[in-house]
Amino acid sequence: MKLYYSPGACSVGIHVVLEEIGKPYELSPVALKDGAQYKPEYMAINPKSKVPALQRDDGSVLTEWPVIAAYLARTNPEAKLMPTDLEGEIRCMEMLDYVCGTIHPQGFTRQFRATNFTSREEDLPKVIEQGKQLAAKYFDTLEKGWTHTGTWVLPSGYSVADAALFFVEYWAARRSGMSLPPHLDAHLKAMLARPAVQRTLQQEGLPA
């Protein structure tokens, strides 16, 4: 397998999942800041022009964070990265969708790529601030919904849902200077203590 990624992008969560699984894989960096995602070489891999993309051993490519995570979890059941019961599975997918479909684009794309939301330079600070406010709102929603006493997102234990939540928590704490609510702060600390996460951050040249 080969993971197409950009250091510190949302692909860091899939990188963590691959490290948790522990099977051989390759890394292929895509320099988003240089616009590499729009060049023909990468668009031949993923015409959606974004990361992550996972090239499987048969040469076929998967795109979209939740799909890649679900594929890796289900094809590596020994890693126990997704619940096997229906309720656990749908709750896991619910978190993947909320992180990737709401928190990421509304909370953080507004902060990191504000020009996607306005063409007026004078409005950029407002877009960034709105992103921070939305991210804080979404985190508060998760905090209030954290009704179990465990460390991980799902009561059943560690899963790909934790890798998803990790990348937005990491952005909040390391890139945006945001404070996380108690359960999410504890979750981030627990994630940073995992060897798979430590290896991933080291490989991508990111601070722990």
> What is residue 124's predicted lDDT score, i.e. its pLDDT?
96
> What is residue 18's predicted lDDT score, i.e. its pLDDT?
98
> What is residue 27's predicted lDDT score, i.e. its pLDDT?
98
Q: Provide the number of structural domains found in the chain.
A: 2
What is the Cα–Cα distance from 58 to 94, expressed in whole angstroms? Answer: 29
- At 45-62, the pLDDT tens digits run 999 999 999 999 999 999
Q: Note the pTM of the prediction, 2 decimals.
A: 0.97
- At 118-137, the pLDDT tens digits run 999 999 999 999 999 999 99
For residue 17, the surrounding DSSP H or E stretch is helix 11-21
Same domain, 74 and 162: no
> What is residue 23's predicted lDDT score, i.e. its pLDDT?
97
Same domain, 180 and 151: yes
Show which of 26, 49, 79 is a domain's final residue. Answer: 79
Same domain, 69 and 111: no
Averaged confidence pLDDT in the chain:
97
Does any domain span residue 200? no
Local structure of residue 40 (DSSP, 8 states)? H
Least Cα distance to 3 among 51, 40, 66, 64 occurs for 51
**Mean pLDDT of all residues in 179-195:** 98
> What is residue 32's predicted lDDT score, i.e. its pLDDT?
96
Q: What is the largest CA-CA distance in the chain?
A: 52
Does any domain span residue 8? yes
Same domain, 41 and 104: no
Please give the structure tokens belonging to residue 112: 């990191």
Does any domain span residue 46? yes
Same domain, 30 and 8: yes
CATH classification at residue 126: 1.20.1050.10
SS3 of residue 100 by DSSP:
helix
> What is residue 49's predicted lDDT score, i.e. its pLDDT?
97
Does any domain span residue 203? no
pLDDT category of residue 109 using cuts at 50, 70 and 90: very high
Phi, then psi, of 5 in degrees rounded to 5: -145, 170
pLDDT category of residue 142 using cuts at 50, 70 and 90: very high
How many other C-beta atoms lie within 10 A of the C-beta of residue 56?
Answer: 12
The domain of 21 spans 2-79
Same domain, 40 and 94: no
